[in-house]
Amino acid sequence: MMVSKLSITLLALAALTTVAQAQEKAADIIARGEYLARAGDCTACHTAPEGRLFAGGRAMPTPFGTLYTSNITPDPETGIGKWSADDFYKTMHSGRFPDGGLIYPAMPFASYTKVTRADSDAIFAYLRSIAPVNQKNKPHELRFPYDNRQLILGWRTLFFSEGEFKPDPKKSAEWNRGAYLVEGLGHCGMCHSPINALGGTSQSDAFKGGLIPMQNWYAPSLTSNREAGLGDWSIKDITDLLQTGVSMRGVVYGPMAEVVHNSLQYLNDEDTKAMAVYLKGIAEPSPPPAPSSALPTTESSLLISLGKTVYDKNCASCHGTQGEGKPPHWPPLANNQSIEMQSAVNPIRMVLNGGYPPGTKGNPMPYGMPPFAGLLSDNEVAAVVSYIRTAWGNRGTPVSARDANELRSAPLN
């Protein structure tokens, strides 16, 4: 009898241990899913301003009309409460709803298709663990004929290749981890690749930069060292920028500040360094320098003279009389890739709208730049931007008052 009672006790303890281990494993998967959801920046699209986490409803203006993001909380009526892990993976991997319906490519399934099944399952487990929100999805407001989902079939034929990430055996494990994060979950190519009239981009143009539709911010090339290519940056400067939003070489503003705030600052040191190694590795040989000026000499001279006056009065106290800046908080303007690159959209918008780098755990009290739209005329904005793009050895091109005027009405968000 004593032996029998002991056996029952041991079996009960074993069962409790198994349950505890299962709970611990499930908790680990959920924690990993939360980390991966941050890496994928799911919050940015699926949480509306002033809205509930992941309840969707965020408007996404596109050249074809406005899309509204979906509710991905586990609410059974309006969210993904009735989905299985298979359904979720199908959406991530194939760009199709569980019923086979086509998803508009504003959802970056062309990148998420590279996400592994294990990572997809972890993200799904995390989303199933959060509080459900009963909030119906808003119908999209797309113009004819873009409201016909069957057109997505043509888009998919041209621009979508289904398949998980394949490591490059010639590269290190660290490089491949960075490639997986940048090309897959991070979906960096969605902004940093040129988008054509059909809303697609070719693989050969990946990461070569482009204007973000409707937002009027230029996402610079990640392959050209004359834009945001990081070939001549140190790994520390790259990781600083990704984790904190500031570095000794530059500062992030605009949409990239949101990415750092919502996503990149939460990545661990190993993954951040892996991304830095990959981003540094995809830099290509720099093209010849751009011409220093495109304006007639007299006109250019007057423009630059006015620009120096505006700069000395409004900018030099922070950025230095020689554009040397006070890094990491006030970026240098001399020899700054983002100032010299062919597109002048970003420096014009910074002068007009100002801005802040993101508040991050590594830089909780960022220093900002005030807006000058109400203080400077279009001529003065054009002059000061032309000055900083051509002074101190910079080889950018001057901009016109028309360029400045066109960006005055650009949306701030």
For residue 368, count CB atoms less than 10 angstroms from its CB and return exposed for 0-12, middle for 13-18, buried for 19 or more. exposed
Token duo for residue 367: 């220093």
pLDDT band at 6 (very low <50, low <70, confident <90, very high): low
Report yes or no on whether pTM surpasses 0.95: no
Instruction: Please give the pLDDT value at position 128.
Output: 97
Spell out the long-range contacts of 272-276 with Cβ–Cβ below 8 A and sequence spacing 24 or more. 272/239, 272/242, 272/243, 273/174, 273/235, 273/239, 274/174, 274/175, 274/177, 274/178, 274/181, 275/178, 275/181, 275/182, 275/186, 275/238, 275/242, 276/178, 276/230, 276/235, 276/238, 276/239, 276/242
Q: ω into residue 285 within 30 of 0, thus cis? A: no
Q: Taking residues 22-45, what's their average pLDDT?
A: 92
What rounded mean pLDDT belongs to the chain? Answer: 90
Give pLDDT, residue 290. Answer: 56
CB 241, CB 13: distance < 8 Å: no
Say yes or no to pLDDT of 99 above 70: yes
202 three-state secondary structure: coil
pLDDT in tens, 140-169: 999 999 999 999 999 999 999 999 999 999
Residue type, 277: V
**Residues pairing with 330 in the sheet:** 326
Between CA 178 and CA 186 the distance in angstroms is 10
User: 339 near 227, Cβ under 8 Å?
Assistant: no
* Tens digits of residue pLDDT in 58-71: 999 998 999 999 99
What does DSSP say about strands 65-68 and 59-62: parallel, antiparallel, or unpaired?
antiparallel
Say if residue 328 is preceded by a cis peptide, omega within 30 of 0. Answer: yes
Sorted by sequence, the CB contacts under 8 Å of residue 218 that are 6+ apart come out as 209, 210, 211, 212, 341, 343, 345, 346
Structure confidence by residue, pLDDT tens digits, 166-197 = 999 999 999 999 999 999 999 999 999 888 87
Q: How far, in Å, CA of 238 to CA of 246, rounded? A: 9
pLDDT band with cut points at 50, 70 and 90 for residue 292: low
Supply the angle between the helices 297-314 and 378-390 in degrees, to the nearest 10. 100
Half-sphere exposure of 400 (CA within 13 A, CB side): 6
